[in-house]
């Protein structure tokens, strides 16, 4: 029974504690189902297994177990037919008095923090391999330093070609590993996104607020951005740490002054990005309100010509003004961001040269 029951659980795609499932007893079906129900770990649904008679169910699941001639079989519903692997399809009339086991999913009532925590838990763990690729970020610096210190004095061009091929091979290794990680990341994101969509869809029947569709749209549009940006953040932090260690090995403890500069600039950039993110959220909400207004206008197009134009347009104008305000805010923030990033790169070079200048002066004295 446990083997066929595990097939049903796998078909559902629910998060499940498979390690503990090995210790579930098979004494009676009721006890097996009771012990199995405690092992579901789905963050969005309360999932439980139930036994019932086929004819007593109002809504039939797509996949369930049925007891045919004292043998439990996995059933797939296809329209009015019920398909069993290796058997001919069964009609509904032949299954009315049969015992079945099915999964019931009830959406949980989650807070905002619960949703955010689940999104972070759903972050693809395969991105941890990007940490191992962080040292490859030093390849351009090593290549440039090797040319400036050694190959510039070499009259043979073959040396340059050979060294370039060696570094190109290293870049190729980094590229293909990153590509594999990205493909796995996309695969996991698609799987987790489907679970989130399933949860949001299940909430629609309980929804009573007019702006729930807007909130749902915001979750849909931002969840993938969060996962992708978190992967980039891991790489950037690892590259920064390795680069800082390399600089520390060259200029010693004077690199702490450079670290102080980086921390200050990073704080300013994070603050600007935070403002930009809030602006994007407001812009997304304004666009959804505009879409709602347009849908309402289109659905009442026949009556629109009998309405007062100025009064009708004033409501539409308010939605437009919100979008215009968000556009201007995003434009200003993006301009400040681009200029600050460009100037901070120049200041970083200045700070590095200044520290190295005083470091060399101290060594000479």
pLDDT at 211: 58
Which residue among 76, 107, 138 closes a domain? 107
Domain count of the chain?
Answer: 2
* pLDDT for the residue numbered 176: 92
Nearest 5°: the CA angle 226, 229, 232 is 150
Does the residue 303 lie in any domain?
A: yes
- Say how far apart CA 240 and CA 141 lie, in whole Å: 14
Give residue 242's pLDDT. 83
Q: Decide if 153 is inside a domain.
A: no
pLDDT at 240: 82
Least Cα distance to 191 among 281, 124, 106 occurs for 124
Question: How far, in Å, are 61, 91, 167, 338, 352 from residue 228 at the CA level?
Answer: 34, 47, 28, 21, 31
Domain hosting 335: range is 245-365
Sign of CA dihedral 301, 304, 309, 311: negative
Judge whether 237 lies within some domain: no
Residue 309 lies in a domain: yes
% of the chain beyond a pLDDT of 70 = 75
Alpha carbon distance 233, 59 (integer Å): 45
Last residue of a domain, one of 90, 107, 124: 107
Whose structure tokens read 């796998």? 10
Residue 214 included in any domain: no
- Does residue 16 lie in a domain region? yes
Strands (E), 31-161: 45-53, 63-68, 71-78, 81-84, 90-91, 99-107
Provide the whole-model pTM.
Answer: 0.66
316 lies in some domain: yes
Residue where a domain stops, chosen among 71, 90, 107: 107
- Please give the Cα distance from 75 to 103 (Å, whole number): 13
The answer as to whether 360 is a domain residue is yes
- Per-residue pLDDT at 151: 61
List of the chain residues with pLDDT < 70? 56-58, 79-80, 85-93, 95, 149-157, 206-218, 221-222, 278, 281-285, 287-289, 292-293, 295-316, 319, 362-365
Q: What pLDDT does residue 245 have? A: 83
Find how far residue 113's CA is from the centre of its chain. 16
Quick one: DSSP state of residue 72?
A: E
């Amino acid at each position: 029974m446990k083997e066929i029951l595990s097939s049903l659980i796998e078909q559902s795609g629910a998060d499940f504690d498979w390690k503990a499932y090995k210790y579930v007893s098979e004494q009676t079906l009721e006890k097996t189902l009771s012990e199995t129900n405690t092992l579901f770990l789905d963050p969005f649904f309360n999932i439980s297994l139930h036994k019932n008679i086929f004819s007593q169910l109002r809504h039939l699941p797509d996949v369930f177990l049925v007891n045919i001639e004292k043998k439990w079989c996995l059933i797939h519903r296809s329209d009015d037919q019920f398909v069993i692997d290796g058997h001919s399809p069964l009609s509904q009339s032949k299954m009315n008095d049969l015992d079945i086991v099915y999964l019931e999913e009830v959406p949980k009532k989650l807070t905002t923090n619960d949703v955010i925590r689940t999104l972070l838990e759903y972050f693809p763990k395969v991105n941890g391999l990007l940490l191992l690729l962080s040292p490859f970020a030093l390849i351009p610096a090593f290549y440039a330093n090797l040319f400036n210190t050694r190959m510039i004095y070499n009259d043979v061009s073959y040396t340059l070609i050979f060294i370039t091929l060696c570094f190109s091979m290293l870049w190729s290794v980094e590229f293909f590993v990153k590509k594999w990680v990205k493909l796995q990341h996309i695969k996991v994101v698609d799987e987790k996104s489907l679970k989130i969509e399933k949860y949001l869809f299940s909430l629609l029947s309980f929804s009573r607020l007019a702006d729930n569709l807007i909130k749902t749209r915001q979750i849909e549009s931002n969840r993938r951005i969060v996962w992708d940006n978190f992967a980039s953040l891991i790489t950037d932090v690892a590259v920064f740490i390795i680069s800082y260690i390399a600089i520390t090995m060259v200029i010693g403890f004077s690199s702490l002054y450079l670290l102080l500069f980086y921390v200050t600039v990073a704080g300013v950039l994070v603050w600007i990005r935070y403002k930009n993110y809030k602006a994007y959220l407001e812009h997304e909400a304004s666009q959804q309100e505009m879409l709602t207004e347009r849908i309402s206008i289109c659905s009442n197009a026949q009556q629109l010509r009998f309405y007062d134009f100025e009064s009708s347009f004033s409501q539409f104008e308010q939605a437009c003004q919100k979008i215009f305000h968000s556009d201007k805010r995003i434009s200003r923030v993006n301009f400040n961001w681009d200029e600050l990033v460009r100037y901070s790169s120049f200041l970083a070079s200045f700070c590095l040269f200044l520290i190295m200048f005083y470091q060399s002066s101290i060594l000479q004295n």
